[in-house]
Amino acid sequence: MKQFEVPVRYRSPLISAIKKKRKEADKLKKDFSPTLLDAGPLRIYLARHFGFCYGVENAIEIAFRTVEKHPGKRIFLLSEMIHNPQVNADLQAAGVRFLQDTYGQQLIPFEEIQSNDIVLIPAFGTTLQMEKMLKEKGIQTEKYNTTCPFVEKVWNRSEQIAAKGYTIVIHGKPQHEETRATFSHASASAPSVIVNDMNDAIELAAFIREEKGPEAFYERFRGRYTTGFDIHRDLARLGVVNQTTQLASDTQAIAEFLKQVMIEKYGLSNATIGERFADTRDTLCYATNDNQTAITGMLEVAADLAIIVGGYNSSNTTHLVELCEQRLPTYFISDESKLISESSISHFDFHTRQALTTENYLPPQRPLTILLSSGASCPDAVVEAVIRRLASFTNAILPDLG
């Protein structure tokens, strides 16, 4: 796989050494057990896979290379490059200005953009309408498009199944940049609808079975279906694709559920299911899959608590937290500064979207065992900083992996 040039401040000698040893011992990535950092009074189990993925490193390389090659030029980002506060803050410090926030709300009027400006497209991609607007302004985005190749793979797959007459069901968070972009690209080729979760899929099934009428559909999925969507015509053949940072198991469960609904409604067999339901399992992102599977492997270890590091608006990181908190106390932090002391931690509750402070989060017994992972947009340097801060609380000496 291609090696990217990202700022050295995002790298970590400790994490790089760990990942190198694991890669050498497990070239085919078959072993999802965690890596133990045994520091005496502190035992940290690191997930087998975590941190920057291909798409994130590609986006960071393009963004910082653009800044370096165009000193003094006005450079804009459509929205956050990735969902990581450190990286976005570094880009802003380098003079990059964000046109929109993560929810598509305008920060800088598009009228201010001129044809000689540079506009970076973030890793999540953007809508066809946005691409058209930039092109009409005379702005060339080809060299500055950091859309993740795996997001583009979903778009291409959508186009392929659309050409065969399938309606596109997108499993994603409706307000997420990537979902909005995927919906735009899918709806250009076929009728499309967004389902947020299994509850939405169950509701959609009621319309497939014709248990509910069009008005109920238009109310339930308001703002999440293509213009002119006809539930009788457009729910007769389906293909499910996803926002790449969703839980892979959730996407698969939704796809299997809707597949079974189609089998029952139309009396299909496994041999004839393709008449009504497209196989789209190949749209799942490898990094999302690996990171989530690594969490499952990590959770097989007995531990006192788990810490997940990443941006609070990062979908893929949130799902890692979701997996861990089903098994043990889990704290979602953005960086080492949230470890206020050995008795106090500031962390994020993604359910309520609130920052919390918890006291006595570290149990008194020693050795203390902690599970640790991070999202696909979190620098390894931040993970190392978290490890070193935990070590300082417990007077632990980290092993030399050089």
Residue 61 designated active-site: no
Give CA–CA dist 256/354, Å, rounded: 34
DSSP character at residue 400: P
**Local structure of 353: helix, strand or coil:** coil
Out of 57, 80, 177, 178, pick the active-site residue.
178
Which of 77, 30, 72 lies closest to 49 in space, CA to CA? 30
Q: Calculate the alpha carbon distances from 7 to 18, 62, 90 in Å.
A: 19, 11, 10
Instruction: State the Cα–Cα distance between residues 331 and 137, nearest whole angstrom.
Output: 45
Long-range contacts of the stretch 265-273 (C-beta < 8 A, 24+): 265/208, 265/209
Q: How far apart are CA 126 and CA 60, in angstroms?
A: 17
If we measure between CA atoms, which residue out of 85, 86, 112 comes closest to residue 99?
Answer: 112
Cα end-to-end span (Å), the chain: 24
Q: Could you tell me the sign of the dihedral formed by the alpha carbons of 391, 397, 399, 402, in that order?
A: positive
Please state, in angstroms and rounded to a whole number, the distance separating the CA atoms of residues 242 and 240: 7
Integer Cα distance of 187 and 352 in angstroms: 32
Looking only at the bridges linking them, the beta strands covering 167-171 and 118-120 are unpaired
DSSP letter (8 states) at residue 36: E
Tell me which residue has tokens 């659309």.
162
Task: Map residue 194 onto helix, strand or coil.
Answer: strand
Which residues have a catalytic role annotated? 178
